[in-house]
Amino acid sequence: MNPIQLKNGCFYHIYNCGINGENLFVEDENYRYFLRLYNKHISPVAETYAWCLMKNHFHFVLKIKDYTPDGDIKLKLPHQYFSNLFNAYTKAFNRRYRRHGSLFERPFKRKLIHNQNYLKTVIVYTHDNPVHHHFARHTLEWPWTSYLTFLSKGLTNV
């Protein structure tokens, strides 16, 4: 089954996990580094509405921008930016922990968000994921989520 293509101007729930249930993040610096890479690779092509990183998987709620970073139609398709992110992180992770091979399940999962109610539901689901998977008792306890930022901004962007 081929994954859906990411289209400009559309909202998506992007998520994935470590291959064979392997952890993607071992220490705090892993989370920080992944977020720096995310900012470098994804922010030019997508607006992020919510995110959550957990030891063995992650979730992002985002909207693919209506334009390419340079306005150049020869630039990569949106999914290629995610591939670049995952490849860059995998190389650094493998080097750091002296491992080799894939780190993420392929292809990464993506669901089109069709309407505003579903968008709100996915944002709540994303922020509640650490509680659902027993990484925390309350969303506020998990540091690797956009929950506090989201609370300060509210639903004005959604």
Give the helix/strand (H/E) hosting 60: strand 57-64
State the DSSP string of 128-152. HHHHHTTS-SSGGG-SSBSHHHHHH
Give the helix/strand (H/E) hosting 113: strand 109-113
Answer whether residue 91 shows pLDDT above 80: yes
| pLDDT class of 157 with cuts at 50, 70, 90 | very low
| pLDDT class of 10 with cuts at 50, 70, 90 | very high
Q: What is the C-alpha separation between 74 and 157, in angstroms, rounded?
A: 30
Cross-sheet strand order for the sheet of 109-113: 46-53, 57-64, 11-17, 109-113
Supply the Cα-derived Rg of the chain in whole angstroms. Answer: 15
Q: For 12-35, write each residue's pLDDT tens digit.
A: 999 999 999 999 999 999 999 999
Q: Which domains does the chain have, with CATH numbers?
A: 11-157 (3.30.70.1290)
More reliable by pLDDT, 69 or 25: 25
pLDDT for 1: 58
